[in-house]
Every structure is written in C-alpha cells, then in structure tokens.
Amino acid sequence: MNIRLLGLFMACGISLPLSAQAQMLQPGLWELTSSNMQVDGQQLPDFQLMLGQLQGMMTPEQKAQLENQGLTMGGKGVRVCLTPEQVQTNDIPLTDPKSGCTQQITERSGNQWKFRFSCPKAQGAGVATFASDRAFSTQVSGTFNATGIQQKGSMDTNAVWLGQSCGTVKPRA
C-alpha cells in the first residue's frame, strides 16, 4: 500500500468544501470515515485497515504535526473540531489553510450541494448530502498525482457529529 496515496486521498476527502449556513452543521467534534475508495477502477483496501497501518507507521512527530493542523486519527476515522464561529461562516475550514486547495460550490439544491475542488496534486468534483446538522456524506471523484503518475480516483465519506466538546482535538486555524 502506498502511504502517500492514502495521505492524499485523506486530504482530498477532508478538503471537501463544506460551505454552510448558520444552522447547517453543529459546532464541535466531527468524525469522518471514508469508504468505497477506488484508484483507476481498482478498489483500495478497507479504510479502517489503511488507517490502522498508517497510524502504526507514523512517528510521534508526524502525529503531532497532524494534530497541530487540527486533525486527529481516532475512533473509526479522522476527527476534526469545528468552532461556533467556523460553522457560522460560509467556509468551514476542514482543510489545512496552507494546503493550496480551493473549492467552489457550483449548485445548492435543498440538502444537496455540488462542488468542485482543486489542490496542488488533485482536482475533481463531488456532491455533499446533509442528512441533518449532525451528519453528512460526500461522494467525490477526480484526478490526482501522488506518485508522479496521473490517476483517477473516487471515494465516499461519511461525517458524524460526536458532541460539542472537542476534547484534545484543536480547531483548525
């Protein structure tokens, strides 16, 4: 398994644009899990398996770096903290502000929003579906270049609100 590929997929999954109106999402701790990850039509191993392998390979310094960026691996996925101020804006920063990624909502229809994204090594489009202010899912597809070769990929992500308290997970600045 290519850890850089998983890292890029995780970054793309977390870079999903989630512009929100004031009541669209609850502030607090969110857990994002991915499934149905494919690269060039081939199914990748289960997200839980890859996440476990990635955690086992990361040094304490790498884990601290992720935590400083507002990401914590825990539970069944990646956890992020959204502040009340972030939820009230039209741009919820689930990505590292220094990542170079841009995003644009192209259509809003009820609880479903279509979007495009562009990152230094990935670009694509997707759909976010909000089940409630405590759960949403996304389907994303695009192209990326994690290994020097242009590839097509897709994945689904589910996000669940865990509660108001973020505990030790720091919000992204």
Predicted confidence (pLDDT) per residue in 122-158, tens digit = 999 999 898 999 999 999 999 998 788 899 999 999 9
Name the class of domain 3-163.
Answer: mainly beta
Residue 15 banded pLDDT, cuts 50, 70, 90: very low
- Residue ranges covered by each domain of the chain: 3-163
Residue 154 near residue 39 (C-beta atoms within 8 A): no
Q: What is the mean pLDDT of residues 4-13?
A: 48
The burial class, CB within 10 Å (0-12 / 13-18 / 19+), for 116 is: middle
Mean pLDDT of the chain: 78
Is the Cα torsion angle 61, 29, 34, 145 positive or negative in sign?
negative
